[in-house]
Structure 1
Amino acid sequence: MTSRFSVIKVRSPETAPTRRLLVLLLAAISLGAASAASTAFAQQTTGAPGAPDATTTIDGRYLPPPPQPFQGEIKLNAAQSTPAWPARVVPPKGAPNILLIMTDDVGFAAPSTFGGVIPTPTLDAIADAGLRYTNFHSTSLCSPTRAALITGRNHHSVGFGVVSEAATGFPGYDSFIGKGSATIGRILRENGYRTAWYGKDHNTPTWTASQAGPFDQWPTGMGFEHFYGFVGGDASQWEPNLFNDTTAIYPYIGQQGKWNLTTAMADDAIHWLHQLNDIDKTLPFFLYYVPGGTHAPHHPTPEWVDKITDMHLFDKGWNALRDQIFANQKKLGVIPQDARLTPWPDDLMKKWDTLGDDEKKLFIRQANVYAAFLAYTDHEIGRVIQAVKDTGKYDDTLIIYISGDNGASAEGSPNGTPSEVLQFNGIELTAAEQMKFYDAWGSQFAYNHFAVPWAWAFDTPFKWTKQVPSFFGGTRQGMAISWPGHIKDAGGLRTQFHHVIDIVPTLLEATGIPAPVTVDGIAQKPIEGVSMAYSFDKTKADAPSAHKTQYFEMLGVQGLYDDGWMLSAVPLRAPWELLGKAVLDPASAYKFELYDVRHDWTQYSDVSSANPQKVREMTDLMFGEFAKYQVLPLDASVATRMATPRPSLNGGRQMFTYSGEPVAGLPRGTGPDLLNTSYTITAEIDVPQTGAEGMIVTRGGRFGGYGLYLLKGKPVFTWNLLDLKRVKWAAPDALPAGKHTLVYDFKYDGLGFATLAFNNVSGLGRGGVGTLSVDGKIVATQTMERTVPLTLPWDETFDIGSDTATPVDDQDYQIPFAFTGKINRLTIAVEPPVLTDDDRKKLQAASRAAGDAN
């Protein structure tokens, strides 16, 4: 396929205008923008200059473009003057509409399109109409992949070496997409596209994710004119923390268990497409569609669970499933016929035939619900694609459908979990303990995640899972691309090595739009990916990959692909061991294996011992790439990074004062943090003559959190300990009319987050004594033996005067449970533990012991 960028031939400069053109062209080439220059000089206009219907393309190297010169004439009087309008900016002629789709936490082997047993007919249809890509890669973790996808730069280059919740104060890890790395949304918007982002936004720093902003790192600040979705790593599909642009919305209230975000976002996207088309059929669109499926919690509708359950896809277990998928993959041709199935890791997880009947029953339920979520998500994506067809724009639309932002997730513990929040607090339940959640699995009453062996099976034929960047189980993503009239090899396979950073340059080549040199006057980092557009050409189906070298790094684990060779660090911490000890020296701690993936598709045979020189060469090259792309310093910690101080609107405050005006939907990191600390909540309220009830203040909900409220007029304070236990303090009598002061005071018996710095979590989640007082009189006192150690649900919020998302106790109330009295003043004072000299000595000893162990 020939490039959309044509070659410009310049004759001998015989005239001044020609000389000026030559100077401009040479300047463009000196900026590394030779291909962009052809676009700049191939600007197209329609209509008479200054006419209301005139359009123009722009020199997209400098965004936003300078104001267009006035084309009319101004005299003393309007009657003698000639008006003129700036031409409307449109993309280059022939530029397609773009639908960029990516699902979440989907392993290579999950969808039917790449040999899986889970039906994904929409992905199948795109692949059948276009191309299947079988050697396409992610970063192995969600928001790093997403940052790379929308910028065309490596994840560390744009500050997303890790998720924002674990950001640190180094350039590669601060979770800021810098102004020098404009997103594809911004580029396309400036060039005349209408842009929208649907679904997951995990690229907004946690400390800017509240209604206070700033919003420059939200989708609407990164070039997307409309955003409908959630901010953060995951969300309940039944009761999400949902935004319309930057406004929190709660459309599920009154429809709990019936309304589901997976359908609702498809509905909104369909409305957006039809509305745009009705307003002006010529307006080109860029729709970035990234649903929450299939990240935990796995929340399909019951109808989809029944459909999948009736298919009996998983009754024979995960080992038989791997064999079945492997055979399917060879039959489809998505892996080579000589590919070998990597061995089952007997040292890490059980084989199916060793399980008891109840274990099998639970695990089959987990897989059925997950599969239902994937099939449901694919179906709703199909509705969006049908809307493109209904508007008559399908033939002019480039569709890229990436199956997963990383490999299948192993973050659910070896037995799975009814609540992912448990796993991230270091709490694992046995299969027997989980059976009481069996019927709730997939509903709004579970925040469920499947067992690790399912993740391994859904990454067939590869090793490892999400979080592991050095093995293809963590990074290999199935992808399909269709573009009617341009991709003519329907159903073709492409095996060239590519990476998510290659999507932006592919879109730029397909549209004929150059990568900008400056945006808002700020010089742009070079695009680090390479275009895949050459692979659209059937005659180049077997062409060598244009992407020769790619580093990998995540949570300290390292890898390097270089022209058919893969250098792979062997993980020291399994992805499900979230609270494992940190690796103190990740630059030297790992054993490296070497694979010749030209002949070993699955990384089956380690050839490092036979190629020591190649290992040295690739190791040197890898660290060179690390230095080039802001990967250093390496950090293999998980829990400690989660607890690292980072910017916050709390700003180290210990006293929070609120006026009593209703506050709703403040995300994690905005309100006071009451974990691992002593604290006092004081509420000054008015009770009307008719009495009062409702929420005064809460953070969290059904899967963990606290709330101070009046229930039938009686003050109650409830701690929901991760849906395992609820501890209550309740006054015996309803409050009479008038002013009252309620105080909940908690004295914590622990050292707080400081212990995390020494790889010792024993000081977290300790107990304490809580006391509830009304008007200066103690009405309830009790001891909590344990508290929540690390995190409350990340999609829940801090609210005053009502409760959003889910209740801390479904038996007491339902949302929004607005307070019917008046809150005059609310204060929350925190008193973090103070380390004594003896404490410090113990922690230093723990640190030395950890160092010896590593």
Structure 2
Amino acid sequence: MSNREFHGQIGRTYDESEPWWPEETRAPEDAPNVLMVVLDDVGFGQLGCYGGLVDTPNIDRLAENGLRYNNFHTTALCSPTRSCLLTGRNHHSNGMAGITEISTGFPGYNGHIPHENGFLSEILVEEGFNTYAMGKWHLAPAESTSAAGPYDGWPLGRGFERFYGFLGGDTDQYTPTLVHDNHQTEPPTTPEEGYHLTEDLAARTIEFIGDAKQVDPDKPFFTYFAPGACHAPHQVPQEWADKYAGEFDMGWDEAREKILEQQKKMGVVPEDTDLSPQNPDVKRWDSLSEDEQQLYARMMEVFAGFLEHTDAQIGKVLDYLEELGELDNTLVMLVSDNGASAEGGHSGSVNENRFFNNVPESLEENLEAMDELGGPKYFNHYPWGWTWAGDTPFQRWKRETHRGGTSDPLVVSWPEGIDARGEIREQFVHAIDLMPTILETVGIDAPDEVKGYSQSPIEGTSFAYSFDEPDAPEQHTTQYFEMLGTRAIYHDGWRAVRPWPFGKPMTTEDLSATTLEESGWELYHLEEDFSEAHDVASEHPEKVLELAQLWWTEAGRYDVLPLDGRGVQRFAETRPQPGKPREKYVYYPDTQHVPENAAVKIFNRDHSITADITVPEGGAEGVLLAHGARSGGYSLYVEDNHLRYVHNYVGIEEFEIVADDPIPEGEGSVRMEFEVTGEPDMSEGKGAPGTVRLYYGDEQVGEGEVPMTIPITMGLTAGLSCGRDAVNAVSDTYRDRTPFAFTGDITRVTVDVSGEPFVHEEAEMDQIMARE
């Protein structure tokens, strides 16, 4: 018997019956479309419309047709901020104190956004909106991002009808690890054919919007466009970087002064704003050698080209909406998720996988790479002097709770709904405020229930009141901050900050301190000191004590406790894993990409790879199992009818062992065995050396030495593939034939790991933290 509601009448025949159709859910009449653009690692002082030195004409035109907010704040880290944007709740309320790779077993830290905190997409899709997510996700628990799921934390599990992008924290722009809806997919073209991820994401966004608008032009959409730019790798076609040749030769010290001057002219900052003090972690530009200046300037040119290229792709989406006649009634909110990133270190990087494996980068080697920076060969990131300049006029950067980490651009444009054009708004706004603002704007109340889950209160405050009232009193007057143990609190124009040197564990005394003498809090009066340049804690001890106590009150309210300043230990915390630990991992053909966190770990331990295969008459070739990417990994493959094993040592050198005899035709097995012959030298970035032996059945057919191996990680964007080397080939030998799929038949490939795994916790913490 059907329990579905029916309001017609059912008689014995059609003539005696009355049909009825349920009323279709429609969005409120004339509700605007919503486009949320989330940039990655773009600082307050980098966009052109915020005084930056990079041309961003499309973002600038949004600002000219709308509003710029100069007091918008994030959490200082990517995933936590994104959870705030989409739920309207604080990051600890979302269980997202940090990225999910460093989750711990406490409510504010477990990396699982509760369904009681409904996503904006989950609300709008039930109210008659189409919902699309594009680009970076990084909001699902790390253990659930493989094909084993569960999928309830993926975009389609949180209210988005369509998704095209990547689930992790970053990916290669030329050879990304892509997911389409709930399945993995490969880029439609290659780098040689001109592929770039940001261009692909813009094209897919246009496709998704067009698919629906041509069928139901009155149905509004919510599109979450998060391109992953400008997170490392800073990759962009050379002509975009070359446009900026020589533009940054002045160095980061002079750049800061120039940016501040432009910010004052634009009114983005008050006229009396001072530059924050010299950053003790950044060398003065004039103290660098000529070679260092040349390299670092080029790294910034590449970043600038990357940012302008991203702006151009945003422009394509805006142009399409204008062509459809939809742009004027589209509420566009463009933000960055945290301050500029300092993950390139003091001297920048051309291959961050070397950094994560403790392999030093030399100035000489990086100078040799300079002409190819931004291309597919390198995973580059600028030095932190440019990070500091990118956060002008503030101090510090991403991961820290000074304004350099938390103050970001917010551009709002809605021509049909906002009369103001090109104006600045100074009211305090936080990432949790976007969701309630959007709901108010489209005319929808926050529901009491989503998907059967009773909803928690929304913690943000709508700032729609400020759209047409530039002098309206701010309504969000108190906001706590916490990131990796660093803390801050905003209240009625004052801001207290409790910093500590990044990477140094906090002591019990640090965590329990509440008095001025013990706490180490800094104090800034933002109404008089926009840039947090002048610490006035010693002048107002009573205000420091008041704000410090208020911070603890807010921390108790929003699941911030227990405060956790640990570094390495936090990575080593026991957390759920995809499957039970085992000694044998079995993979099957056409496995395209098993994420690094879910794949077998072979580092510094004896192991073997056995492939059960059938070789057709005349022979076969191709990859049996590959793990890693251009920046490092290993591959067992067949070429010229010979079994081969290659170990790519962090992109520096490839060690290959080749079987002496041709591979037999017919059904059989081939095997590689790795026997550790020495200890790893982690401080020098050298994994355990070993002897590799190749077998056909039980007959040894080859042997060779691998003098050093990758010690810690295959890389942030690497994965494991069976029967092919998906997208970003491990070895130069067959890179031009990627994916170099095996032309015989594979039954299974078994990786057997024995002995205790070797774990270097500090280095692993470094590599997962760069995914934020």
Match of 2:333 in 1: 400
CA contact (8 A) 2:690 2:708 kept: no
1:587 paired residue number: 511
Query: Quick one: which of 273, 276, 283 aligns to 1:342?
Result: 276
Q: Which amino acid aligns with 1:791?
A: T
Query: Can you list the C-alpha shifts for 1:195-233, whole angstroms capped at 9, x where unaligned?
Result: 100111111122211223221111011000010111100
CA drift of 1:748 comes to 4.5
2:526 and 2:217 map into 1 onto residues whose CA distance is 47
**Partner in structure 1 of residue 366 of structure 2:** 434
On the 8 A contact 2:693/2:704 being kept in 1, the answer is: no
Q: Tell me the TM-score normalised to structure 2 length.
A: 0.93
Q: Provide the residue aligned with 2:674 in structure 1.
A: 746
Residues 305 and 627 of structure 1, relative CA distance in 2, 3 Å threshold: same
Opposite residue 308 of structure 1, the aligned amino acid is Y
Tell me how far 1:518 sits from its aligned partner: 1.5
Deviation at 1:786, TM superposition (A): 4.3
Contact 2:605 2:757 in 1 (8 A): no
- 1:604 partner letter: A
Distance 2:557 2:667 in 1: 63
Unpaired segments of 5 or more residues in structure 1?
Answer: 1-66, 574-579, 753-759, 844-854
Q: Cα–Cα, structure 1 residues 693 and 142, in superposed 2: closer, same or farther, change >3 Å?
A: same
Residues 732-771 of structure 1: pairs in structure 2 closer than 5 A: 732-748=660-676, 766-771=687-692
Contact 2:276–2:531 (CA<8 Å) still a contact in 1? yes
Contact 1:751–1:833 (CA under 8 A) maintained in structure 2: no
Contact persistence 2:603–2:687 (CA under 8 A): no
User: Partners in 2 of 1:231 and 1:109 — Cα distance?
Assistant: 28
Counterpart-to-counterpart distance in 1, 2:391 and 2:31: 36
Q: Which residue number corresponds to residue 850 of structure 1?
A: none
Residue 233 of structure 1 is matched in structure 2 by 169
Query: 1:234 and 1:202 mapped to 2: Cα distance?
Result: 9
For each residue in 1:330-371, what CA deviation from the matched residue of structure 2 results, as whole angstroms up to 9, or x when unmatched?
1111011111001222x3122111222221221111111100
Cα distance change on mapping 1:362 and 1:547 into 2, 3 Å: same
Length-normalised TM-score, structure 1: 0.84
Whether 1:721 and 2:645 are equivalent positions in the alignment is no
Alpha-carbon deviation of 1:587?
1.5
Query: Who is 1:830 aligned against?
Result: 753
SS of 1:568's equivalent in the other structure is strand
Match of 2:235 in 1: 299
Deviates more, 1:770-779 or 1:472-481: 770-779
1:807 has 2:729 as partner: yes
What SS does the corresponding residue of 1:729 show, helix, strand or coil? strand
Q: Is the 8 A contact 2:678 2:690 kept in 1?
A: no
How far has the Cα of 1:243 moved from its partner? 1.5
Please give the alpha-carbon distance, in whole angstroms, between the structure 2 residues aligned to 1:186 and 1:598.
38
Q: Is 1:270 paired with 2:206?
A: yes
Q: 2:98 aligns with which of 162, 170, 195?
A: 162
Partner of 1:519 in structure 2? 450
Native 8 Å contact 1:681 1:745 kept in 2:
yes
Quote the Cα distance in structure 2 between the aligned partners of 1:514 and 1:301: 45
Change in CA separation of 1:677 and 1:385 when aligned onto 2, cut-off 3 Å: same
Distance across 1 between alignment mates of 2:498 and 2:104: 23
Measured in 1, the distance between the counterparts of 2:367 and 2:685 equals 28
Letter in 1 for 2:636: L
Equivalents in 1 of 2:505, 2:583: separation in Å?
30
User: CA offsets, 1:456-509, max 9 Å, x none?
Assistant: 1111110011111x2011111111111123211211110111110000000111
Larger Rg: 1
**3-state SS of 1:609 partner:** helix
Please state if 1:351 is matched with 2:284. Answer: yes
Counterpart contact for 2:338–2:406, Cα < 8 Å: yes
Match of 1:498 in 2: 429
Q: What corresponds to 1:642 in structure 2?
A: 571
CA contact (8 A) 1:257 1:444 kept: no
Shifted more, 178-187 versus 156-165: the winner is: 156-165
| Residue in structure 2 matched with residue 794 of structure 1 by the alignment | 716
Q: Distance in 1 between matches of 2:615 and 2:192?
A: 30
Instruction: Tell me how far apart the structure 1 counterparts of residues 30 and 634 of structure 2 sit (CA, whole Å).
Output: 56
* 1:221 aligned to which of 152, 157, 160: 157
2:613 alignment partner in structure 1: 685
Q: What residue identity is the alignment partner of 2:725?
A: D
C-alpha distance after superposition, 1:629-659 (max 9, x if no partner): 122222233444334442222321222134x
d(CA) in 1 for partners of 2:108, 2:637: 43
Q: Counterpart in 2 of 1:42?
A: none
Amino acid at match of 2:482: E
Aligned to 1:542: 471
Give the direction of change, closer, same or farther, for the CA distance of 1:277–1:553 in structure 2 (3 Å limit): same
Q: Secondary structure at the match of 1:173?
A: coil
CA distance in 2 between counterparts of 1:711 and 1:582 reads 51
Task: Identify which of 768, 774, 780 aligns with 2:695.
Answer: 774
Partner of residue 10, structure 1: none
SS in 2 for 1:88: coil
- Tell me which amino acid in the other structure corresponds to 1:627: G
Gaps of 5+ in 2: 514-518, 762-772
The match for 1:423 is: 355
Mapped to 2, the partners of 1:751 and 1:474 lie a distance apart of: 40
Other-structure match for 2:251: 317
Write the mapping of 1:87-126 to structure 2, written as runs, cut at 5 A. 87-126=23-62
| Residue 740 of structure 1, CA deviation | 4.2
Q: Find the residue that maps to 2:90 and give its secondary structure.
A: coil
The Cα RMSD (Å) is 2.3
Query: Could you say which residue in structure 2 is the equivalent of 1:77?
Result: 13
Counterpart code for 1:728: E
Q: How many residues align?
A: 750
Runs of 4+ in 1 over 6 A off after TM superposition: 749-752
Say if 2:604 and 2:757, in contact at 8 Å, map to a contact too.
no
Distance (whole Å) between structure 1 residues aligned to residue 286 and residue 584 of structure 2: 56
Counterparts of 1:127 and 1:466, CA distance in 2: 24
- The question of whether the paired residues in 2 share the 8 Å contact of 1:676 and 1:764 is answered with no
Question: Which amino acid in structure 1 is aligned with residue 630 of structure 2?
Answer: R
Aligned to 1:6: none
SS in structure 2 of the partner of residue 212 of structure 1: coil
Question: Which string of whole-angstrom CA distances, capped at 9 and with x for unpartnered residues, describes residues 406-434 of structure 1?
Answer: 11110011111112222333444232221
1:386 maps to 2:319? yes
Rounded Cα–Cα distance in structure 1 between residues aligned with 2:677 and 2:443: 63
8 Å contact from structure 2 (residues 359, 685) kept in 1: no
Aligned-residue offset at 1:120: 0.7
Percent sequence identity is: 39
- Secondary structure of 1:172's counterpart equals coil
1:705-759: per-residue Cα shift (whole Å, max 9, x none)?
Answer: 111111222222222222123222222333232344333233457999xxxxxxx
Q: 1:76 to 1:520 in 2, by over 3 A?
A: same
Residue 300 of structure 2 is matched in structure 1 by 367
Relative to structure 1, is the Cα distance of residues 825 and 198 closer, same or farther in structure 2, using a 3 angstrom cutoff?
A: closer
Mapped contact 1:744–1:770 kept (Cα < 8 A) = no
Judge conservation of contact 2:86–2:435 (CA < 8 Å) in 1. yes
Give the superposition deviation at 1:382. 0.9
Inter-partner Cα distance in structure 1 for 2:312 and 2:746:
46
